Amino acid sequence: MLDKRAVILVREQREILARRAKALCTWKVIVPAVLFLMFWVFYEWVFELPHAFQKAFAPGDLLLFSALVLMEVTVETDSHMARTEMGGWMPQLIRGFAVCVLVAFGVLKYHVIIIEPHLMEKSGPESAHVLKKMSEYALLNCMVALFAIAYSIRAFSTAAEQETAEWVRRLARE
């Protein structure tokens, strides 16, 4: 059983870890995601570009963001995630997924560069097809980014919980 001093130390440690997890999520995940959303806002309402959603998100920049976030979170939380119910295979799986996302970024970016000029055509089947394809790419990019954000928040909070539990166990042994 922990004495009163130990309970206070545990609370302080928990607060420190919670602040660290919050800072990691905020500056490595949330702020960059909000900046990407601002591109769409600027394209749509400031620059008044046609097909702003597609132009903002179809080129795949969110895929690059997602891959980097996923790589970062697996590096930051690898030792803690190995002790969860998912074991050590989850960070490896996420890293593999991040590499696939990087490859998809390259392919998608190149394809959007090739097809985007067809959006300049005011009408016609080619323009409609390109708009549909770019809409699909934009939605895919947004879904992958949302997954990366959700996974990183979960991984950072799990790592903080694991670190707190480990710290409590060490303190109880002393």
- Encode pLDDT of 4-13 as tens digits: 776 777 777 7
Statement: residue 105 has pLDDT above 70: yes
- As a whole number of angstroms, the distance between CA 101 and CA 103 comes to 5
Residue 87: give the domain boundaries: 4-173
Q: Sorting pLDDT into bands at 50, 70 and 90, what band is 83?
A: low
Statement: residue 122 has pLDDT above 80: no
> What angle (nearest 5°) sits at the alpha carbon of residue 56, between those of residues 151 and 69?
25
Cα atoms in the 13 Å half-sphere on the side-chain side of 135: 9
Higher pLDDT, 137 or 162: 137
Q: What is the mean pLDDT of residues 17-28?
A: 78
Task: Give residues with Cβ within 8 angstroms of 172, minimum separation 6.
Answer: 2, 6
The dihedral over CA atoms of 157, 161, 164, 170, expressed in degrees to the nearest 10, equals: -140
pLDDT for position 14: 75
Tokens (6 digits) for 83: 């002790």
Statement: residue 102 has pLDDT above 90: yes
pLDDT for position 2: 57
Statement: residue 1 has pLDDT above 60: no
Per the structure, the count of domains in the chain is: 1
